[in-house]
Structure 1
Amino acid sequence: MKIINSDKKKQISLCDYKTEHYAALEAFFLPEEQKQYTAMPAAALEKCLTDPDRHPIVILAGEIPVGFFVLHSGEAIKSFSDNPKAILIRALSIDISNQGKGYGKLAMMMAPEFVSRNFNGIDEIVLAVNKRNIAAKKLYEKAGFQFEGTMREGRIGPQYILHYRLNT
């Protein structure tokens, strides 16, 4: 299912990954400083192929993939939340050529509606953001995610766990 943002200046949509998106996602470029915090889309897609609880989502500007993230459900997210009705956002990236245009913030603002429409029984979205990734934390907070005091140790250091409670 597709969710479309109504801001005509920044027409973006969220949709389930399709094979025709692969070439654009594989060509994504991120600077090294950003790669430390997220997975590249092609690598994240490989994990999605072997894990049915990982759902790849593409951020489109018109019909062009400009961003990507994974919605992860099931048992594997227990280290992020003890809420059995939560879903985890992971591997968010916006291709370098499309950064600074507001696509990441808009996508995160649209994510709650997308999740509500496409994932029955989910009442919360959670995500982890590295403590040093200040820009990403600010982006998530502007989109409505909240830090409730929980942290965890991540692959490269401490992470804030941010929450977005859905109205179900």
Structure 2
Amino acid sequence: MTNTRLTFCNEIHEEALLAFHLPPEQEKFTAMPNEALKKCEEDPGRHPVVIEANGRTVGFFVLHKGENIGDFTANPNAMVIRALSINHPEQGKGFAKDAMLQMPQFVSDHFPEVNELILAVNFKNDLAKKLYEKVGFVDRGQIKPGPVGPQYVLHYDV
């Protein structure tokens, strides 16, 4: 059993995040942590979060709220999950599922006003879509264009 936890990103995670590796077939679907962190510096509505397991940095994502999520929803209390990835050597160990199961409580603890989580997943990224649906995200039929093709927009009521 792993001890997986979510924590806000800080300097101690930087080296591990910069060393993140994804194979090309995965990298096309997400922003790498270093790219996502740059956007977080530019947009105060973006909050970088690290997935730790047994004291190691194994994953990363961004929680994004505010006016810049209008292409996902009109709900002012929604939060978008962006750039979720698990470092390639750490994949297949259940870390993404553990993180997704912890996310509603993490968001409620740190952003009590948020009542909905939203994420987009590329049509061709079946594994990710199945994971998100398994942990309770719902496909309500919303589709948006993405950088490498259409994306399903999935919702989770907090």
TM-score (norm 1): 0.92
CA distance in 1, matches of 2:62, 2:148: 20
The residue that corresponds to 1:28 in the other structure is 20
Q: Is 2:93 the partner of 1:101?
A: yes
CA distance in 2, matches of 1:147, 1:84: 20
CA distance in 2, matches of 1:155, 1:39: 11
CA distance in 1, matches of 2:109, 2:155: 18
8 Å contact 2:77–2:113 — kept in the other structure? yes
CA distance in 1, matches of 2:87, 2:7: 17
Aligned residues: 158
Root-mean-square deviation (CA), in Å? Answer: 0.7
Q: What secondary structure is seen at the aligned counterpart in 1 of 2:7? A: strand
The residue that corresponds to 2:138 in the other structure is 146
8 Å contact 1:130–1:159 — kept in the other structure? yes
AA aligned to 2:24 is E
AA aligned to 2:131 is L
The residue that corresponds to 2:126 in the other structure is 134
Give runs of aligned pairs for residues 64-75 of structure 1, distance below 5 A: 64-75=56-67
AA aligned to 1:27 is A
8 Å contact 2:2–2:54 — kept in the other structure? no
Gaps spanning 5+ residues in structure 1: where? 1-8
Pick one of 100, 106, 114 that aligns with 1:122: 114
Give runs of aligned pairs for residues 37-116 of structure 1, distance below 5 A: 37-116=29-108
Percent of aligned positions that are identical: 52
8 Å contact 2:49–2:62 — kept in the other structure? yes
AA aligned to 2:108 is S
AA aligned to 2:12 is E
Q: CA deviation at 1:156?
A: 1.1
Q: What secondary structure is seen at the aligned counterpart in 2 of 1:34? A: helix
8 Å contact 2:49–2:63 — kept in the other structure? yes
Q: Is 2:17 the partner of 1:12?
A: no
Q: CA deviation at 1:31?
A: 0.2
CA distance in 1, matches of 2:68, 2:135: 25
TM-score (norm 2): 0.98
CA distance in 2, matches of 1:105, 1:81: 24
CA distance in 2, matches of 1:16, 1:62: 16
